[in-house]
Amino acid sequence: MNDRPPSDPVASPAVEVRGLVKAFGDRTAVDRLDLTVERGQILALLGPNGAGKTTTVEICEGFTTPDAGTVRVLGLDPIVDNDALRRRIGVMLQGGGAYPGARAEEMLRLVAAYSADPIDPEFLLDALGLGDVRRTSYRRLSGGQQQRLALACAIVGRPELVFLDEPTAGLDAHARLVVWELVDRLRADGVSILLTTHLMDEAEELADQVVIIDHGRAVAAGTPADLTSTGAENELRFTAPRGLDLSMLTLALPEGYHCTEANPGSYLVIGPMTPQVLATVTAWCAKINVLATDLRVETRSLEDVFLDLTGRALRP
């Protein structure tokens, strides 16, 4: 075993990927990908099935060798420094690792035993809703339970950095929220996280930084707010009786706003939305004694960003 002390300066990012390339035969899974996970931050690699997310994570975990490019994890090389990194990173293994016959609690305790200061396995099982199945063998757990146990195994050793590959895939809405809360708590504890997802709401909810990936290539990167605000002309939509005269509304709004009846009874105000603009619109409705329904401020979602960039929907 390689016991030399890890040589990462704390200033190095948690993960730094530059010009990463990986092909399987003539299929390029990852194509000159760059990404940086800063310490204590969550980066979401967001993309559709087959975009190259798992391949990227497996290279960062040291399970797959890249064809080209550089990868540094906590300042170290994931393959050369694998032993040193193993104790410092958390990985969600699918399929129960080497012990599919072991009970859930046994498995978690086994993984915890490798750490000097593990999280209490009992606490983690309860937090992830696995308290009732602690004595059930891994192979008899449901897919969602296996998924949550894999997450527990990834974080029980209090790693500095966790790789979460589709952590909520196949989970119901409640279980997904439980996982989101746990991920939030990890971030609060200063853990760096690289997670992959094809769920834009998951990326929007959890990530400090998002890299949108398609066909192995990064097509956009930034904070969720940056990505959804760039180029977005915010809109306010509402439904009201047909044929309203919009001239008074246009006059009441600041210059540059555009009001239109996009479809009969369906109105659109285009321009940057502020609380004052919203108040102006509702005040105008009150003045002409009209009850606007379905009133909503539209903003771009990451789904829209993906659609704009690739011409395809993120969801299959």
Ligand X SMILES: Nc1ncnc2c1ncn2[C@@H]1O[C@H](COP(=O)(O)OP(=O)(O)OP(=O)(O)O)[C@@H](O)[C@H]1O
Half-sphere exposure of 164 (CA within 13 A, CB side): 35
- β pairing state of 42-46 and 68-73: unpaired
Burial class (CB within 10 angstroms; exposed 0-12, middle 13-18, buried 19+) of 66 = buried
Residue number, 67 or 126, with CB nearest to ligand X: 67
Residue number, 44 or 259, with CB nearest to ligand X: 44
Q: CA 213, 218, 219: angle at the middle one, nearest 5?
A: 90
CB of 160 to ligand X, least distance (A): 24
CB of 242 to ligand X, least distance (A): 46
Residue number, 112 or 195, with CB nearest to ligand X: 195
Supply the angle between the helices 143-155 and 104-112 in degrees, to the nearest 10: 20
CB of 69 to ligand X, least distance (A): 15
CB of 277 to ligand X, least distance (A): 40
Residue number, 51 or 162, with CB nearest to ligand X: 51
| Residues whose CB falls within 8 Å of the CB of residue 43, separated by 6 or more in sequence, listed in order | 15, 35, 36, 37, 193, 194, 195, 207, 208, 209, 210, 211
CB of 215 to ligand X, least distance (A): 9
Residue number, 59 or 259, with CB nearest to ligand X: 59
Residue number, 31 or 304, with CB nearest to ligand X: 31
The C-alpha atoms of residue 231 and residue 28 are separated, in whole angstroms, by: 31
Q: What is the DSSP string of 182-244?
A: HHHHHHHTT-EEEEEES-HHHHHHH-SEEEEEETTEEEEEE-HHHHHHTT---EEEEE-STT-
Residues that bind ligand X (CB under 6 A): 24, 27, 29, 47, 49-55, 198
CB of 32 to ligand X, least distance (A): 15
